[in-house]
Amino acid sequence: MRTRRVSATITALVTGTLCFTGTAQASSAAPAVPVVSVLAHGSKDGAVVAGGYRKAGTRLSVRSGSTAGAHWLQVDYQVQETGYWCGPAATRIALSARIAPPSQSVLADELGTTEDGTDWIGQVTEVLNSDLGGGWYESKEMPDDPPTQAQRNLLWSDVVFDIDRNYPLVANIVAPPGNQPPGYPSDRTIYHYFTVIGYDDANSTVLIADPASFSGNQIYWLSFDQLARLIPPKGYSA
């Protein structure tokens, strides 16, 4: 059981989650899974580690690694299989750091995901704990937009604490025009889930495994400041 400084506030958010990918249906073939090496790509904000794989269900194996101030985890990445399965896909990526994860369809059932998406980060937290056993994950709400300094400090602390112990984070984000990760459609607000799988303290960046594959961007570095601005008024599992 982990020790926490701040208790989670469990407050349901009624706004549904929409995830847009524009990807094709998954192939019935089972091609070899490409292996991605993070270190060769640097960790500056906007650096894309893996890109171009846009077909739904496409998998990538991300190798773990570390430097003096950075740490990232080994995960089995997969592009979300429907336009509204970002929650199941992000949850699957997080689980893959520790176990052989269930399929996206199984996780969609466990999460209660509908064509409107996965309503609330608390559903992700519950499934992560159920599938892994124990109670590592907690739901952290970030209702203030922009977030308070205390919320930002807690988020960074959670990123480092969890990644150093081989637990990815799952974030529920709201990305409006003007505040979007690489490749997102700039003419709409995107309601989405993605997985945080690493950090670099020197560059103040976090490594994102994004199941949407917007414009073919799967694994990329994002500034911590932008991550903190993307989460409100939603939350994250850590």
Q: Is 212 a residue whose pLDDT tops 60?
A: yes
Residues 56-77 have pLDDT tens digits of: 888 999 999 999 999 999 999 9
CA–CA distances in Å: residue 108 to residues 103, 123, 127: 9, 11, 10
Q: Is 180 a residue whose pLDDT tops 80?
A: yes
Q: Give the three-class secondary structure for 177.
A: coil
236 with 159: CB under 8 angstroms? no
CA 196, CA 189: separation in Å to the nearest integer?
Answer: 20
Residues 100-148 have pLDDT tens digits of: 999 999 999 999 999 999 999 999 999 999 999 999 999 999 999 999 9
* Least confident segment among 38-47, 56-65, 82-91: 38-47
- Tell me which of 26 and 41 has the higher pLDDT: 41
* Contacts of range 99-102, beta carbons closer than 8 Å, 24 or more positions apart: 99/131, 99/132, 101/76, 101/131, 102/131
The whole-number pLDDT of residue 41 equals: 80
Reported as a pLDDT band with limits 50, 70 and 90, residue 13 is: very low
The whole-number pLDDT of residue 2 equals: 54
Structure tokens at 137: 């994950």
Task: For the chain, give every domain's residue range.
Answer: 35-195+212-237
CA 12, CA 112: separation in Å to the nearest integer?
Answer: 14
Neighbour count for residue 105 (Cβ, 10 Å):
13
CA 41, CA 73: separation in Å to the nearest integer?
Answer: 15
**E-assigned strands of 30-110?**
35-36, 48-51, 59-62, 65-66, 70-72, 75-78
Residues 43-58 have pLDDT tens digits of: 999 999 988 767 888 8
The whole-number pLDDT of residue 182 equals: 93
CA 152, CA 158: separation in Å to the nearest integer?
Answer: 10
